[in-house]
Chains A and B, each alone.
Chain A
Amino acid sequence: MIHLDATVIDAILDGSLEPDDARRIREHLAEPCERCEQALMEHSVDLDGLLRLCEAEVGLDEPVEQPLSSLERAALWQSVQADMPARQVPLAPRSRWRLPAAGGVVIAMAAALLLFFQLPQPYDGVKGPGDGEVVPAPPRLELRVVIGRDVAGSIELDRRVQQGETLAKDAFLLFELEADRLAARYLFVVDAAGAVTQLAPAPDAVPSLQPAGSQRVGAEGGWVVLDLADMQGAITVVAAAAALPVDATSEVVRPWQAGEPRDWVAYDILKLEVAP
């Protein structure tokens, strides 16, 4: 039999009580219990708070009567972001765990060093998913390339570039990627000599998961622009997306160059020619 005490009451109120314990409590409270009544009287929660929780629980599976509009959602997200830096990240480990934790870190570092010197290193970059690790299937990905021209110091968008098109050297290319779900997205250009340049994310940046939808390759409404003035002959634009952020060189570019693209990475490739 479970009686109410401060811990159990708090767990019921914040919804963290395990279902089995919840069942036992529910069965127990079907009959009056003076001890539980006393525990509730000593607790700070009052009837109105309980009633409101019951009201909120009742409609948990129902659609919201007046849902947030898209503007309210966006404004609320901005408020969440604005409020974040002012907060202190709580210190999770309690003091009694600090010593064993520090010991664990030392042992782990020693083990890692031992492994580093004893095991052969199959990759010279970051090892990505593989070796039996379950990886979600790649998203559907579409690369759109728009041609732009320098008009009085600013780039004016012209039209969408087609597969196999021959372009003049005075053109600029601007890129947009569309994926149907959350994914890390990468963009490369390969010149006629086979040299690969990573356009996005910036080669030294940590790849980030991005939400579904269409994104310009750029930030804050800007674009990454590829100036064709420095290019000549055949060029290939390679867009890739993966459900996991991975090392672009070893897990995306090299397998593709070797003709063995990873099956957990989506590719969209555009071959173009730059006129001399």
Chain B
Amino acid sequence: MSSFFGVHFFGHWNLASPLSMPSQPVPIPLIVARARQGDAAAQRALYEQHVDQVFGFCLRFCRGDREAAQDLTQEAFVRAFTALPELRDGQAFPKWLMTTTRRCCLRWIEHRQREAAAMERVAHEPRPAAARGERSQRIVAEVIDACPDPKLREAALLFYREPPHTTDEIAARLGLSRTAVTTRLMRFRAWAKLRMMGRLAAALEEEGS
């Protein structure tokens, strides 16, 4: 315990107390400016203000895998705070944080897919599409229904909708060669990717309006 003009100091300000959301938030650029200087309290305030949105995004991306979503949330905040000196406009922090979050999510899925592809090569057997949640099935169904080519739609329905089929099963059911089914699925994927890019662009347009 040190002493200063009769005042005994046991330490500095307590920054680690539980937080609640501010009722009248301080302007974001102000908090970002402090966080950029490494102020832990300002970083904590940014974390508290945005953690629910980041975690919610990651949880939906990971299809309900809480552990993976928490890892991604952690990664997103660490990357964002580490790169904060690069952010010139503090007001843009929320959008910038979500961009960082999306990048973390994409890296995570690429890594997972590389692992899955390696497993597939070991097993010598292409797997049917993995079972997905309700939200995912709804989007897949919309995309398949919107596909203008009935041949592609037929192959995609069997491959992506429950219960999923392997390419061999689809080939047997449709009386086609495995190569023909693979080609149709490839063409469908290319079309579906365009369709989903359009959806993402529409979401960005909506967010900005």
CA distance A217 to B195 in the complex (A): 57
**In the complex, what residue of chain B is closest to A134 when comparing beta carbons?**
B27
Q: Is the CB of B8 within 8 A of A224?
A: yes
Q: What total of chain A residues lie within 8 Å of the partner, measured CB to CB?
A: 104
A45 to B189, CA, bound (A): 12
B157 interfacial contact with A, CB 8 Å: no
Counted as pairs of residues, one from A and one from B, with CB atoms less than 8 Å apart, the total is: 307
Asked whether B13 lies within 8 Å of A32 as measured between CB atoms, the reply is: no
The answer to whether B194 touches A29, judged by C-beta atoms less than 8 angstroms apart, is yes
User: Shortest Cβ distance from B170 into chain A, in angstroms?
Assistant: 17
A225 touches B8 (CB 8 A): yes
The number of chain B residues touching the other chain, given as a range, is 35 or more
Of the listed stretches B52-60, B120-128, B176-184, name the one at the interface; the rest are far from the partner chain.
Answer: B52-60
Interface residues of A (CB under 8 A from B): 4, 9, 12-20, 22-23, 25-26, 29-30, 32-33, 36-37, 40-41, 44-60, 62-68, 70, 72-74, 76-77, 79-81, 83-84, 87-90, 92, 136-137, 139, 180-183, 185, 189, 197, 199-202, 205, 208-227, 229-231, 243-245
Residues of B within 8 A of A (CB): 4-27, 30-31, 34, 39-42, 44-45, 47-48, 51-53, 55-64, 66, 70, 73-74, 77-78, 81-83, 85-86, 95, 98-99, 102-103, 105-106, 109-110, 113, 132-133, 135-136, 139-140, 189-205, 207-209
Q: List 28 A-B contacts (CB under 8 A).
A: A12-B204, A15-B95, A18-B208, A22-B205, A26-B202, A29-B198, A37-B193, A47-B192, A49-B110, A51-B132, A52-B105, A54-B203, A55-B135, A60-B53, A64-B59, A65-B64, A66-B64, A67-B52, A76-B74, A77-B51, A90-B82, A92-B86, A136-B27, A197-B4, A211-B17, A212-B21, A213-B20, A219-B11
